[in-house]
Each structure stands twice: as structure tokens, then as C-alpha cells.
Structure 1
Amino acid sequence: MNPESLIASAAINIGLAFFILTLFSVLKKQPSNAPIYYPRRLSESHRQSHRHIPDFDDNYASSSVGFRRFLPSVTWISRAFRFSEDEILQSNGLDALIIIRLFKLGIKFFVVCSLVGLAVLVPVNYNGGLTAMSNHTLDSFSISNSSPGSNWLWVHFSCLWFISLYGVYLLYKEYKEISAKRIQQLLNIRHQPNQFTVLVREIPFCSEHKSRGCCVNKFFSKHYPYAYHSYQILYDGKEFKELMNQAKSIEKKIEGLRKRSVVKKNNKTPLLLNPSHEDSEKISVYEENLEELHHKIHQLQCEDMLHEKELPVAFVTFKSRLGAALAAHSQQHSNPLLWITDDAPEPRNVSWRNLAIPVRVLPLCNFGVIVAASLLTIFFAIPVTAVQGIAKFEKLKKWFPPAMALQLIPGLSSVITGYLPSAVLKLFIYIVPFAMLGMAKLSGCISKSREEIKACNMVFYFLVGNVFFWSLLSGSLLDEIGESFTHPKDFPGRLARAVSAQADFFVTYILTDGLSGFSLEILQPGLLCWDAIRSCTYGRGKEKTPYLYSLPYFRIIPLVSMSVLIGTVYAVVAPLLLPFLIGYFLLGYAVFINQIEDVYETIYETCGQYWPYIHHYILVAIILMQITMIGLFGLKSKPAASISTIPLLVLTLMFNVYCKMRFLPAFSLLSIQNAKEFDELDEKCNQVEFNYENASTAYCAPCLRPLNCMEPGSSHTPPLATSSSF
């Protein structure tokens, strides 16, 4: 990529970001856009009518001036940097705070790396003794410009050790702090029912009483006589769900017919008119059908019908956290495929549809998901190769002569080779997280958080495979076609050469993903268009409801972690890329604090279970940097530096093993020590009985809830059938 292409890419991305952020700052002040830019705060204000909404209320109070709300401002950026971690933790939970900590970690890491790179490595590279003859913009300032065998390569070796050890230090510090915050958060929310509850699967059938519920009660009463409290058996709710969908459809039709008879007088006072005779007949027919459906649903909720639909799954409640922890951590039966216990997720975090999947089928589900994700990764190699073909315009002209016509328009080839490849790649990648989440939902995870964590893993490794490795290899293959296949043993060297050659492409990728990507994230153009269409068609005159969605961990974490990987690998190879990453993380930090506080809803809390995966992704980045440098030192005829890097690689792997032993167990299980301490604290506050009684009614399956409590988030509704409580 020539300098003109890189400058064109930077100019386009900076210009787009400036325009989009200016447009956002204006649109955010318009009252009609409140459901888009303040949905979380609007929903909270509906629940708590006295709640003051900062910035929202102030902006709209001053909107009476008229002209001020059409002026762009940067108050949302200054407001974002004023938020403290304690405020985010209190209002949004530890999971949301981890997203912010990821951006802060990127800022702290790459600021130091940039200082080292710009002050030490760039001057060494520029005076390295070679004159870069290629078209790659950053070659003169990268390790490619160093002479083979030069002793100056020991400077790169020293910087590699410093950056690696600094990254490991930051990871250890973050893991330790987040682990402490997790324990504190568990203490703060110790009243939640999941701390008293265990999920039990593969429950055997009791032939004597023709019930699995009876078997659950006998088993836990016998083996946990002092800790066991009650159980809630689960049922097959497919038929119930179909009837509920029919009932909701009829309710919407009745509501639509009734709204025909409502007209507004002076746009304020509603005047009810008598519905027409035809509408009255339709309403009466629909009401009869609805009453019949309600009768069928009540019949399905009777105990006799429920016994026939029992599943080998139950939520078992204990009188103490200690009892629940002991049951969840133990093997219950000599046959490990019976009485399988697991920590229960929060009631709002339960994936009810997957609990009906037998445990024996889960390996097949996981295998199918892995195959589907692999096929998607392989399929996406086609557009990635095409993107690299656009970026390698000089080579493309030799193989496809009509492409020379682009040179007839001045500057067009620079725009195409500089901006278009990263924009096209970003467009293709946008749909990947949603596809992976859809696959993860088919894998049989018991909670929504586990589905998102599984999607995070699949998206991250997809990006590593396609955006990083395949972009490197396909770009290299377009320069030296066939050599990577004919000499597979030279892979480390070819990887190192490809990494050095593709630095300018990844600069444009970071610019597009950061400037354009984060700007579009905060603007939400899709919702703006949909809201405009809705307001002009069937939604005209209706009260707008907030566009409230959950925080998309499955999309944010892997994409940001991929940028960390790119920056880490290039920290020693091409340090000029690092300042772009600082801007990337600063903008992302401001954008996602705004989104977390105003836009996205927290629908569950895992108390930081995403962090071990982020830690793993960043360690993968550090290890890839070290392997790349081993190859580069070999290419530069410095075998002593390559061999001396191997102990660093071993130390990093040993650090990973240590973290798994020291911190990881605390993120998957509630320790016996903490469980006992929390129980003792409840005894002092006289909250023991209240907590486990609340837990015994929290896990009410959808098919047992009353018809007026079927909305999401109503899982604390007491069940209609109470035969499962003892």
C-alpha cells in the first residue's frame, strides 16, 4: 500500500467519524429521538417516576430555547470520562465494568508501548541500514528496514521482553483486582436466589409414584437432611408456548380493533366512540376464542397434566449457600451420568428452552456447532482473499488488466486500495457475531451468559483465523504465490515476513473499526431509519416505546480483543501502528460508557465471568507476538535472539498455567469459605429464612406462571402448581 492510499484511508475515516459524531450530538438532543438514545434511562424513569435523568433532563429542559439543541456539542465525551468505576459497578454490574476495564487496559498498555516504540524502535528502524524498496508505507519505520545480522536487533529483543513482561504484569494486576471485585459483588448481591439453588439434570424416574419430582425429594432429603429445602421440577412447555403465542396474537387483534374506536380530541383528550357493529362482532368472537385458549392453558397447568410432561431437570433450593455449594461441587451418584449438578444461573439468565435437551445429546449439539462455525470460517476466506486482492492493486493489475481503468480518475485508486478493503472486510464481519450467537444458542447452554461466552470464543477465533492469519497468508500469497504451500516448514519465517508486509493494511483496519465502527455504534443508524419508517407508517400517532436491548458482549469483547491482538503483534514490528490504537481505545471508552449508561440494558449479572476469556485472548496475542519475533529474528540472521526469546515464551505459558490455578476457580464456583461467610452474615441480619424462601419460588418455569405474569423478567412469580414444594 502506497502512502497516498494510507492517507486517503485516514482522511476518509477521520472525516466520517467527525461527521457522524457531530450528527449524533445533535440528534441526541431531539426529544423525538429519546427512545433511541436514552432507552435505558427512559425505562428506569418509567419504573421510578421520581428519578432524575442527568443530561437527558438538562438537555430537554434547555431545548425550549430552540436553537441550542441544533448545535453540536461534546458534553457526552466529558461526561463519559467523569464516570467512576464505582458508579458503573453500582448501576450496571461487574460484567459491564469489565467492558470498560478492557478499554482502560488497552489504553494503559499501548500508551507505554507507543512511548517505547516511538522513542526507541522507530529511530533504530529508520537508521537500520536498508532502504525500503517496496510500496509498503511503514517499511522504513518497521523492523523490515533493519540490516540482517545487525546488533541493533538486540534493541528489538530487549523491547520484546519489556513489552511482554509489562503486558503480563497488567494482566496479573487486572485478574487480581477483578477477582476481588467479583467476591465483593457476590457479597453485595448475596440475596439472589441462584446462591441457594442448584440445577439438577438426568433425574431418574420413580416407578413407584410415577414421578420424577418424588425422586428428587427423596434423594436430597436423604443425602442433605439439614440443608435441603425444596425443589421445582421442570416440564415440557412446547404445547403451552404454542397456546400462549395464539393468545397473544388474539389479544393484539382485539387491541387493534378497540383502538379503531379511539379518536383524539385536540390531540390531548381521548374520546371513546362506540365501535361499529362489525367490529363489535369480531371483538366478541375473538374474546370467546381467547377465553377458550385461557381455559386450555389452565388445564395444562393442572397437576395431573403436568405429571405427564415432567422433564428430568429440576432446580433444588437449599437453606444455606454452604449446602448449595457442597451439592453443586460434588458428584451425587456412582454413575456420573445421573444426578448431574451444576450452579444455577440467575432466574433471568436461565435459557429455558435448552433445559429440555438431554445431557447425552449435548456432545452432538456442540459438535454440530463446531462444524457449522468451521464451515462459516472457511467460507469467509473467500471475501477476505478478495479484500486482499483489492489492497494489492499493483499485483491485481497484472492478473486483471481491466483494473488499470481505475487509474484514469485521479486519486480513485488510492481511495480503493486504502479505504475500500478495510470497509468491505468490516461490512462482512458485522454479521459474524450474530451468526455465531445463533449457533451458540443451539449448543444447549443452560444460561444466556454461557451462550454469549461461547459466541465470544467462536467470534474471536474466527477473527484470528480470517482477519489475522488469512489476511496475512492471502496477502503474502498474492506476492509470492505458491511458496507458502511448497515450503510448509518455513511457516514461522513466512508468518514473520507476512506480518511485516501487512502492517499498513492493519492500520487501515484499526482506523475503520475504531473511527467508523464506534461512531456508527453510537449513532445507531439502523434504529434511526427504522424509527423514521415506523413513525411515518403504522406507528403514526402512537406513543414511542424505548428501543431497549441487552449489552452485546458477544460482539464487543472479541472485536476489541482482536484489535489488542493486532496491536500487540505489531508493537515491536511496526510501532507506528500503536498511536492509532490509543485513539481507538480512547474513542471506544467514551462510546461504550455512553452506551452502557444510556442505551443498553443489563439483563443478567455473572459477576465477571467474562474476564477469564478476555485474559486468555490477550495472552494469545502476547504469545503470537513472541512467535512472530522468533521468526523475524531468524529472517534477520540473528539466531541467538530467536533462541533467547524461547524462555520468554515458556515464561508466558507458565504464567497462563499459574493464573488458571490461582484465579480461574473463583470465577466458576462460589468457594465454601465465601459461602459460609455469607451465611453467617445473613444470620446476623436475620435474613436467612427470607432468602431461601425467596429462592424456592424464583425459578418458576414459563409454563407455570399466571397468564397475567407472562412478560419477560417475571420469573419471580409463584407457580400455579405447588406440588413440587415440600
Structure 2
Amino acid sequence: MNLESLLASVGINIGLAMVILFLFSILKKQPSNAAIYYARPLSKRHPITFPPFSLRRFIPSFSWIARAFRVTEDEILQTNGLDALIVIRLFKFGINFFTVCSSVGLLILLPINFGGQPASSDSYRSMDSCTISNIKTGSNMLWVHFMCLWFISLYGLHLLYREYSEILVKRIQQVRNLRHRPDQFTTLVREIPVCGEHQARGCCVDHFFSKHHPYSYHSYKMLYDGKDIEDLSKQARYVHEKVQGLRKKCEGKKHGKESDECRDDLLKITGLEEKLEELCRKIRQLQSEDMLEGKELPVAFVTFKSRWGAAMAAQTQQHTNPLLWITEMAPEPSDVSWRNLSIQYKILPVYKIGVILAATLLTIFFAVPVTAVQGIAKFEKLKKWFPPAMAIEFIPGLSSVVTGYLPSAVLKGFIYIVPFAMLGMAKLGGSISKSKEEIKACNMVFYFLLGNVFFLSLISGSLLDEIGEYVSHPKNLPSHLAALVSSQWLWQLGEQFGATFLQIQDVYETVYDTCGTFWPFIHHYIIVAIILMQITMIGLFGLKSKPAASVSTIPLLLLTIMFNEYCKIRFLPAFRSHSIQNAVENDELDEKSSEMEHSFDKAIEEYLQPCLVPVSFTQSDSSLYQPLITSW
């Protein structure tokens, strides 16, 4: 990429960003868009005031940006939860880290790289003169890169440790603030055996926990195979929507001349109402206890009289056979993935392997658009293999736009569909909660971007030129690839950061609050990026004939790995489970306020399987129609 292409890309991106910023500022001031821009306060019935109709409503204003920066972390934690706060802190971490990295790069490394070799006429037009590839082989200036690498790595590790420790404190505080949530009293139990005496699993659950947890066990709720009920519910909803449509259609014609057609619609409505009543009768029949007895799944939610009892049951092995009575802390009721709970625990590895294979195939097939996009970026090399592309040069400025902005736009367009595909595959992996599905999707997207967009684009962008180079001079391949890495590092780093930003922004929805469970995975992603940077520099120092710098970087790599292992020991267990100490402290708070019994009594009622929800299809009052079926 030359300077003109870089400036074209920067100009287009800044221009688009400003246009979007202006449109957002204007559209959010229009009352007709209140449902889009103020959905949260409207759902809570908070009044929204808009400026009177005047020219001010169509002039961009940016005072809301300053207000956003003034919001405190406690306000975010109270209104949106810890997951939302982690997203904000991730942005702050990125700003702090990349500000230091950019300062080091611009003030120290850029002048050294630019003066590394005598500049030719073409080097001023190429971005290679600003990278480490412009430094002479064996130059002592490489030691400056070595020192900057140590400084940036240690600074990043310092920020990570500070974030991990502070988020852990906030997680403990958030769990205490949300101590009345039912998931803190509830344990998910899987692989429940059948009772030999009653040939049922429900009584087996009650007998087992009454015997082994006599002082803390409270109650249980079995899960059932509700596929038949779900199918009937879908049919009932379809019929109900059809009745709704016919009623609205007939209501619009009741004062017109089409009375005969309206009478036909009323006859259809009567028949559909009878069908709807029959479907609801079948659903209620299937929801009865007698019909559900033979459809028990080996899964149950078990509640305890204290958080201590739930934590003890979830974190200990219940049976000598580890494949029976498998327990773990239950997710929040709104976070439960009910469909996956019907999957047998023994075959879960098959589902996980299938998801990994599907993600691998997607990564492989994605190589085609990446190769094509990077071929556009290497326009000079593309002309050698596709001569008609030279026609672009006859239009002034078009080649800079094509090589500078078009590859990034096309690549982001392809990347946009990846998170949806990965999330769809993650839902088939057997996770017990939606949050774990999204965490798996994040993992797959991260490694997809790392292995495909990063590594593959470095190679595929020069694939057209590398084929002949590799065949004619195979010994030069390592050094040539090193030059490619250094020459595209800055651009690829921006691509990675932007793509990761979008994915994290899409994963963190306020449907549930995991109390910061996402942070260990974000920490892992950043550690992997730092390790990748260090490994790359070890190879570059070796190819630049500085073996001493390569060897001296190995301790930094080992230090980073040791730091990551220490964080796993120091912080990670507190994010995977609730400690007994915190559980007891929260129980003591409820005992002092006499809220303990109320909390665990209502806990089990929150875990109501969707297929067991009573059916209810009602209509609003109207002179044309009456309620179809009332709730029972």
C-alpha cells in the first residue's frame, strides 16, 4: 500500500464516520424515532422530551458525547450490569494501551525505520519505508525495537493485571447486590437415574438430595420432553395470528359495501376459533401431570435453603460414578438454553466436535474471499496476472480508492456474516445457557480472525506474486514472509481491533447479567495477541541477523506465559464459581434482614419450562370480537 492509498482509505473512513455521526445526532432528536433511540426509558414508561419543531432539530449536536464520558462506573453498574461495564472498561483499556503504543511508534520507531536505509524514488511512495523492513540487516537500531517490545509488553501486562483485580472486586460486589436472584440458590442436575421402585426420576431426585443434603435441600423441578407441546403451540400461534388478520380485515370492511365478503370472513373466524380451542385443549391435556410422567428428562433444577448449600452441591462430586448426578450452578432463568438441556450429557462431546469441524470448514472456505480481497490491495501485482485491471489507472484517483479502501470494505462485508454463522453453530454445541453459547461464538470468531483474516491475508495478499518467487527461489521464502509481516502489521492490527470491537459489541446484550463471566476470555484474547507479537518479533530479529535480540526476547515470552498462568490460578476460579466464603456472607446478610426464606421459596418457581407455560390467547375489547380463550 502506498501513501496515496493510505490517505484515500483514511479520508473515506473519516468521512463515513462523520456522516454517520451527523445522522445519528439528527435522527435521535426526532420524536418519530423515539422507539429506536430511547427504547429503554420508554419500556420503563419514563417521559422523553424533545425540542420543539425548529431548525435546531435538524442541526447536529454533540453534547451527548460529553455526557457519555461523565457517566460513572457505579451508574453503569447499577443500570446496565457488570457485563456492560466490562465493555466500557475494555474500550478504556484499548484507548490506554494503544495510545502508548502509538506514541512509541510515532515518536521512536517511525523515525528510526524511515532513516534505516537510503530512500529511493519509489520508497517515499511506499509504506515499507515506515516499517521495520526498511532497517538494514544486522543494524544496531533493531535494539530500539527490542526495548520498545519489552516496554509495550510489560505495560500491557500491567494493565491486564489491574483490570483483572478490579473487575474481580466488582464481580464480588455485584453478586452480593444480586444475591436474591434464583440462580444463587439453584443447582442444575443432569444424568439423573431412574428410581427402581417407582420407575421415575422425580422421586429419585427427592430421595437423593434429602439423604445427602438433609439440612440444605429444599425442592426440585423436573424437565420434560415438550416437543409435542411446542409443535401444538406453534400451530395455535399461527391460527391465532390468522384470526387476528381476518378480524382486522373485516373491521375495515364493516362500514363498506363488501358485507358478503365480511360474512365469509366471519365464518372462517368461527372455524378457526374452534380449531384454536381444540389446540389449546390438547396443550392443556399434554401439560397435565399424568401425561408428563412418561416424558421426564434426566435433568432437574434443585433449589436449596441457602447459597452455601447450592454452592456445595454444585462444586462437589455427588456420586462415585462421575457420569451420574452431575451438578453445576444453574444459569439465570432468562439465560437458560432450554433446548440444549434435553441433550444427553454422554454425547455432548460429539456435538462439540461437530461444531469445531464446522467452524474449521468455514475458516477454510473463507480463504477464497480473503485471497481475492488482498489481491486487490496488491494492485501492482494483480496487473501482472490480470492485465485488464490496468484500465483503473486511467481514472484519476480511482486506483488509490480501489487499493486503499475497497479491500477493507469488502473484507468487513464478508466478516460481518461470520459472527452470525458462529453463533448459530455455537447454539448446536450443547451449552446450558445463552451466555455460554455467545462465549463459544466469541472464541470461534476470535480464532477465525486470528487464523484467517490475520495470517491468511498476509500470505494471500501476495499470493499472486509469491507463487513464482517460491518456485524460483525457495530459500528466500522465510525472509520474504518476514518482510510481508512487517510491512502490513500496522494495517492488519487496525483490522483486527476493529473487527474484535464489533464482535464484542454484538455479544454483550442486556438480556441477562453474568456478573463479568466474559472478562477471563477477553483477557485470554489480549494475552494471545501479545504472545503473537512477541513470537513475530523473535522471527524478525533472527531474519534481520540479530540472534542476540531473538534470544533475549525469549525470556519476555516466557514471562508473559507465566503471567497468564498466574492469572488463571489467582483470578479465574472466582469467575467460574461462587466461593463458599462469599455465599456464607450473603446468607448472613439475608438472615439478619429475614429475607432468606422468601428468596429460596420463589427460586424454583422462576425455572418454568417454556412448554409448560399455560396457554392464553386473548383479544382486546372491541364491538366486533370477543376474547378467544382466556387464561386459566
Matching of residues 12-91 of structure 1 within 5 Å? 12-45=12-45, 51-52=46-47, 57-58=48-49, 60=50, 62=51, 64-91=52-79
Q: What SS is found at the alignment partner of 1:315?
A: strand
Matching of residues 325-340 of structure 1 within 5 Å? 325-340=311-326
Question: What CA deviation, in whole Å up to 9, does each residue of 1:452-511 have, x standing for no partner?
Answer: 000000000000011100011223434432667999999875553221122464377479
- Supply the distance in 2 between the matched residues of 1:494 and 1:555 (Cα, whole angstroms): 37
Paired position in structure 2 for 1:346: 332
Matching of residues 297-312 of structure 1 within 5 Å? 297-312=283-298
Question: What CA deviation, in whole Å up to 9, does each residue of 1:402-439 have, x standing for no partner?
Answer: 11111121111111111111110000000000000000
CA shift, 1:278, in A, is 2.3
1:126 matched to 2:126 = no
Q: Which amino acid aligns with 1:614?
A: I
1:634 matched to 2:623 = no
- Supply the distance in 1 between the matched residues of 2:543 and 2:41 (Cα, whole angstroms): 56
Paired position in structure 2 for 1:616: 524
Q: Which amino acid aligns with 1:455?
A: A
- Supply the distance in 1 between the matched residues of 2:494 and 2:209 (Cα, whole angstroms): 60
Paired position in structure 2 for 1:240: 229
CA shift, 1:186, in A, is 0.2
Structure 1 residues 677 and 252, CA gap change in structure 2 (3 angstroms): same
The Cα RMSD (Å) is 2.7
Question: What CA deviation, in whole Å up to 9, does each residue of 1:272-296 have, x standing for no partner?
Answer: x999422322222222111111111
Structure 1 residues 614 and 494, CA gap change in structure 2 (3 angstroms): farther
- Supply the distance in 1 between the matched residues of 2:56 and 2:358 (Cα, whole angstroms): 52
- Supply the distance in 1 between the matched residues of 2:221 and 2:471 (Cα, whole angstroms): 58
Task: Check the 8 A contact 2:422/2:441 in 1, yes or no.
Answer: yes
Task: Check the 8 A contact 1:236/1:309 in 2, yes or no.
Answer: yes
CA shift, 1:248, in A, is 1.2
Paired position in structure 2 for 1:577: none
Paired position in structure 2 for 1:587: none
CA shift, 1:110, in A, is 1.1
- Supply the distance in 2 between the matched residues of 1:489 and 1:670 (Cα, whole angstroms): 56
CA shift, 1:65, in A, is 3.0
Structure 1 residues 507 and 338, CA gap change in structure 2 (3 angstroms): closer
CA shift, 1:207, in A, is 2.9
Question: What CA deviation, in whole Å up to 9, does each residue of 1:367-409 have, x standing for no partner?
Answer: 1110000000000001001111101110111111111111121
Q: Which amino acid aligns with 1:281?
A: L
- In structure 1, which of residues 122, 135, 139 is the aligned counterpart of residue 128 of structure 2? 139
Structure 1 residues 262 and 502, CA gap change in structure 2 (3 angstroms): same
- Supply the distance in 2 between the matched residues of 1:643 and 1:493 (Cα, whole angstroms): 18
Task: Check the 8 A contact 1:456/1:554 in 2, yes or no.
Answer: no
Q: What SS is found at the alignment partner of 2:322?
A: coil
Paired position in structure 2 for 1:448: 434
- Supply the distance in 2 between the matched residues of 1:487 and 1:94 (Cα, whole angstroms): 55
Task: Check the 8 A contact 2:371/2:463 in 1, yes or no.
Answer: no
1:192 matched to 2:181 = yes
Percent of matched pairs sharing the same residue: 66
Paired position in structure 2 for 1:159: 148
Structure 1 residues 168 and 487, CA gap change in structure 2 (3 angstroms): farther
Q: What SS is found at the alignment partner of 2:461?
A: helix
Matching of residues 244-259 of structure 1 within 5 Å? 244-259=233-248
Paired position in structure 1 for 2:2: 2
- Supply the distance in 1 between the matched residues of 2:44 and 2:602 (Cα, whole angstroms): 24
- Supply the distance in 1 between the matched residues of 2:351 and 2:153 (Cα, whole angstroms): 38
Structure 1 residues 277 and 367, CA gap change in structure 2 (3 angstroms): same
- Supply the distance in 2 between the matched residues of 1:701 and 1:489 (Cα, whole angstroms): 64
CA shift, 1:622, in A, is 0.6
- Supply the distance in 1 between the matched residues of 2:62 and 2:472 (Cα, whole angstroms): 55
1:150 matched to 2:139 = yes
Structure 1 residues 173 and 275, CA gap change in structure 2 (3 angstroms): farther
Q: Which amino acid aligns with 2:436?
A: R
Matching of residues 225-624 of structure 1 within 5 Å? 225-262=214-251, 276-481=262-467, 496-503=482-489, 505-506=491-492, 509=495, 513=498, 553=504, 555=506, 602-624=510-532
Higher relative contact order (CA 8 A, sep 6+): 1
CA shift, 1:264, in A, is 12
Structure 1 residues 706 and 488, CA gap change in structure 2 (3 angstroms): farther
- Supply the distance in 2 between the matched residues of 1:203 and 1:124 (Cα, whole angstroms): 67
- Supply the distance in 1 between the matched residues of 2:493 and 2:561 (Cα, whole angstroms): 29
Structure 1 residues 450 and 155, CA gap change in structure 2 (3 angstroms): same
Task: Check the 8 A contact 1:495/1:631 in 2, yes or no.
Answer: no
More deviation in 411-420 or 176-185?
A: 411-420
Question: What CA deviation, in whole Å up to 9, does each residue of 1:208-255 have, x standing for no partner?
Answer: 112100100000000000010000000001111111111111221222
CA shift, 1:19, in A, is 1.5
- Supply the distance in 2 between the matched residues of 1:554 and 1:347 (Cα, whole angstroms): 23
Paired position in structure 2 for 1:212: 201
- Supply the distance in 1 between the matched residues of 2:474 and 2:465 (Cα, whole angstroms): 17
- Supply the distance in 2 between the matched residues of 1:461 and 1:492 (Cα, whole angstroms): 24
- Supply the distance in 1 between the matched residues of 2:9 and 2:429 (Cα, whole angstroms): 40
Q: TM-score, normalised by structure 1?
A: 0.81
Task: Check the 8 A contact 2:373/2:461 in 1, yes or no.
Answer: no
Paired position in structure 2 for 1:100: 88
More deviation in 247-256 or 196-205?
A: 247-256
- Supply the distance in 1 between the matched residues of 2:606 and 2:576 (Cα, whole angstroms): 22
